[in-house]
Structure 1
Amino acid sequence: MSSSDSSPSPSPPSSPEASFHGQPDLERLVLHLVSAKRALTSTQYVHRANDIITGSRALIEEIATLNAKNGFARRGVDEQIETLEAIRNGINEAGEKVDSEFQQTIARLDVANDRLQTTLAGLRKVLIDPSLGQPAPPASEISTQGELSSDLDISESTKARQRTLHDFVDEANHEEVLASLRGFIDSYRDSQSDLDDNVGRLTESIAHVTEVLLDRNKDSDPPKRPTPYDEPPLLISAIWHDMEAHASDMAGSLQSLISHYDLCVSALKHTEGGGEAAKHALPADVDIDDGLYAKKVPDPMDDAERAEMLRVLENDAVEVDDVAAEIKDRADDMEALWAQLSDRADAARRSQTQLLQAYKSLLAIKTNLPLYIEALDLFRASWANVQFSIVAKTEELVGFCGFYEQFHSSYEKLLREADRRNAAAEQMRAVASKARRDLDRLWRADQKARDTFMEDVGVFLPGDLAPGRAGAATRWEVTLVSTEESVEHNEVDSRDGD
């Protein structure tokens, strides 16, 4: 409009009124007045713009303050989260180190147990030599398939009744050790499970703090994912600059509308019957100031001045609707900028709320943190006791292995000793048989010599001269004595030797 330098260039006329040439008549002036008055409803947008400017100042100050506080608090929370993650990772590493020691200890235990089982399996394969005279197991231990059996069944049954070296092993000893080892392993697993539970709770607490900071509200719609074609969000300084520009332009445009309205009123006042015509022609929804109808003599104006006034009025009337529309568009732009600024403020407030919630969660973690450290200490202490017990029991298993291996080796020596004793007994039996024959021969010869002597001189010698001369020859015998008698005899010989 001509009364405002900031007005846009007039658009091509879109109505008959816009293409009017010449001085407007009274009816047309009334139409211009009504249009100008209706355009002044844009005042509400200017008032709203002023409110937005005032509110934006407060929002920008609040946003700046909150962002500064939130930035400082966020750095502190991030540092606390990093510290907690380091503590959790340290607990995990310590637990993994203990578990590695446990696996190594179990590996050595498995080696000892495999050796024991291999030794026992070897003892089951060694049948007791029948020459040792071991009795067969009770008949109740032998399964039968009926009253009648073939020769093959009988031989297999006889073989089944033959005892093995394993029958002489008391399995209760090493089974008790194995049972205690299983108990120690279960105890370790329980303490490890307790540690894992504590680490899991710590991990969940840290994840909860992170979730709070990410503001993942399941009840709200998910945020729109940005695309490469989206315009970057405006800076707050740019928003404020645009707001001020819009408000200034709106104020200037409104001032142009007011000037145009005043010009319409002035034109009607300088037109005879203008006030009355306006009064009768105005719609019910348009209210005009009473000054237009007052019987007041307007300032004098010559025809040239009035013609220039009407020319300007006619030119400005073409732009009234465009100016009003521009004010509305700028008001809409300001509302959009205000919405962006309000979103920034809401985001800053939400961030502050999230940080407060995160801080409260960190305080709860701080309260429970000694429990997590204590769980690690308990796990280490429990493992130290379990490791000592497992190592001791493993050594016992190794001792059983050595004992059973020596048992197997001793059995082989026993077989060789049995062979030696049988050979010695056979030699003594041969010597004793020869001695019996020699003693019997000597006894017969002695008896025959005695008989010859008695026949020769027996009648000449009195009986009391040599008592016992007529007696039979002494007879010697070689007999087998029992083990007890042999031991007693050896003891007597030993005392006699002393």
Structure 2
Amino acid sequence: MASSTPSPRGSAAHLSHNPSPSASLQKPTNQLESLIAHLLASKRSLSSIRHVHRATTILSKARADLESTTILAARTTFLQRSLASQSKILRGVQFELEDVVHSSQAEFSSMLKELDDAGKKLEQTVHRLKGTKLEPGFRDTDLKTSVSSKNDLPAETKETLYDFVDVAPVDRLKDNIKTSIDKVQQAKGEMDQSLQDFEEDLQTVNNALAGKTATSSSASSTFQPPNIPATVKALENHAREMAEGLESLVKHFDLCVTAIQHTEGGGAAVVKNLEMDELPEGVRVEDFKAPANSITEDEKKDMMTVLDNDAAEVEEVVIEIQDRISQMEAQLDHVQLWREKKETENDDIMAAMKLLEQVGTKLPGYIIQSQTFVARWSEEKLKIEEGIVGLEGLRDVYQNFLGAYDGLIVEVARRKAVRNQMEKVIREAHSRVQKLYEDDVEEREAFRLDQGEYLPMDIWSGLSDPPPKYAISRIGEARESVPDLPRKTVEEALRRLKAASRES
């Protein structure tokens, strides 16, 4: 008997049930024993029914897994895209918060540079005050009544212009600026910590996703997902071929039963060689009794020929069914492995989503921290700007003090010159008045000698009066003390004043 389709490993080897000329020439020594052997072999082959049942289960399981995994893969892809989108949004928020810090930090750095410049200029001016010695002439004993607000130093103990400066406002100004800078740096530290926490939260999400993705990619590099249409088609083909093979085995068993029924002593041989529980389900010993209608010897001979041919192919069909169920099991394993990988990917995405949700709950806190930083920076920025203006104002005051001192030197020199001129005029006037007085005395004496004896004494009461005397004196009791300053000191002060005038 020949198979109707190519035998093992291709499509299932079905029993053809067609007589073979070569087989018809064979004459078994014991036909009944041969039938019993065929029956036993056929009965054993029917155990392949479990493979057919398993094939049905595999097909159903594979279809369900492919369908659910396809849906899960689509859901995972959607979540992954959603996760990437939300992560991108959070990164954008992080960059915005960082821009706020960087912008304020740039302003703060610029302001510190401006503050440093103002401080250096003030220190230079203070250094000039400390280096400008008070002229000894200004420490005249008549000027020792004044006191300074700086440590209440008496005037005679002041040696430089700096001794006249009240440093308390400068110290207060510097303390206020330092306090504002400390507050800004504290706020900056808190903001940096907030940004660091934000970065760590986002990095946790990225690491969780990247780590799982890397593992998945590594595994995916050697694993190929199943081709769903091809897989389903192959499983259906295997199941159909296995069912057809089982059907041919059942027909072969039925043919064995029929042959035994038409063979003398067949029923007794079955009872002798088989137990009841060894028969297939639904087959009884009574089924092997001789039928009412007998067949001819030729028909019996043809039937035996078919049985002999089919018996040679039974093992091949069983092996083919086993091969196909093995292939189906392998394909199911592949499908289930794909499902497990997709479930793992989905679990990883869900874990990352939960981490992202936790970051989302912290986001308002990060934004509030940024707003707090901006508010504090704006407040302290105004104070620092006021401090810089204050330092520049103090420098202007000190610069004006230096300029005024140079002006004072020039003014003292001018007053000294005017005083000298006035004293010269007074001396000259006094000399002229004295000359006029002496001339008047002589003239009066000459008049008296020439005309006096001729004039009666009572003609004018003032006839013999002496001329009046005049004196030039300072009005008031205060005495102005103008110190004598070295010519070099006056010239240097005048040169500095002219230089300052050119610079302005």
TM-score, normalised on structure 1?
A: 0.65
* Aligned: 1:258 with 2:250: yes
Q: How does 1:192-203 map to 2 (within 5 A)?
A: 192-203=188-199
Residue 48 to residue 436, structure 1, CA distance change in 2 (3 Å): same
Q: Decide which of 402, 420, 435 is 2:396's aligned counterpart.
A: 402
Whether the 8 Å CA contact 1:50–1:247 is kept in 2: the answer is: yes
Match of 1:104, as an amino acid? Answer: S
Encode CA deviations 1:379-419: one digit per residue, 9 max, x unaligned.
33222212211111111111122222233334444455566
Counterpart of 1:182 (choices 178, 192, 206) is: 178
User: Aligned pair in 2 of structure 1 residues 419, 296: CA closer, same or farther (>3 Å)?
Assistant: same
Give 1:268 shift. Answer: 4.8
Aligned with 1:297 (options 270, 290, 299): 290
CA RMSD of aligned residues (A): 5.3
2:238 aligned with 1:246, yes or no?
yes
Code of the aligned partner of 1:38: R
Residues 480 and 277 (structure 1), Cα distance of their counterparts in 2 relative to 1, 3 Å cut: farther
2:96 maps to 1:90 = yes
How many residue pairs match? The answer is 435
Contact 1:265 1:292 (C-alpha < 8 Å) held by counterparts: no
Distance 1:60 1:231, change over 3 A: closer
Deviation at 1:214, TM superposition (A): 6.2
Select which of 376, 390, 393 maps to 2:384.
390
1:485–1:318: structure 2 CA closer, same or farther, 3 Å change rule? Answer: same
Q: Secondary structure at the residue paired with 1:225?
A: helix
Aligned to 2:13: none
Partner of 1:150: none
Where does 1:77-476 land on structure 2 (aligned, <5 Å)?
77-128=83-134, 133=139, 164-207=160-203, 216=212, 222-223=215-216, 225-226=218-219, 230=222, 232-269=224-261, 272-273=264-265, 287-289=278-280, 291=284, 296-297=289-290, 300-346=294-340, 367-417=361-411
Does structure 2 conserve the Cα–Cα contact (< 8 Å) formed by 1:128 and 1:134? no
* Long gaps (5+) in structure 2: 11-22, 142-156, 439-460, 482-504
The corresponding residue for 2:154 is: none
380-389 vs 418-427, which deviates more? 418-427
Give, in whole Å, the separation in 2 of the partners of 1:25 and 1:128: 151
Distance verdict in 2 for CA 1:400–1:322, change over 3 Å: farther
The answer (yes or no) to whether the contact 1:23–1:307 under 8 Å persists in 2 is no
Counterpart in the other structure of 2:502: none
Identify the residue that residue 495 of structure 2 maps to in structure 1: none
Contact 2:260-2:266 at 8 Å conserved across structures: yes
Q: Distance in 1 between matches of 2:217 and 2:86?
A: 31
1:51 aligns with 2:57: yes
Q: Is the 8 A contact 1:46 1:250 kept in 2?
A: yes
Cα pair distance change 1:337/1:118, threshold 3 Å: farther
Instruction: Tell me by how many angstroms 1:251 deviates.
Output: 1.7
Does the 8 Å CA contact 2:35/2:260 hold for their aligned counterparts?
A: yes
- Give the letter for the 1:236 counterpart: I
Q: 1:3–1:256: 8 Å Cα contact kept in structure 2?
A: no
TM-score by length of 2: 0.65
8 Å Cα contact 2:226/2:338 also seen in 1:
no
8 Å CA contact retained: 1:34, 1:286: no
Shift of 1:359: 6.1
Distance 1:292 1:125, change over 3 A: farther
Residue 326 and residue 9 in structure 1: after superposition, are their counterparts in 2 closer, same or farther (change >3 A)? closer
Tell me if structure 1 keeps the 8 A contact 2:260–2:288. no
Q: Distance in 1 between matches of 2:163 and 2:48?
A: 112
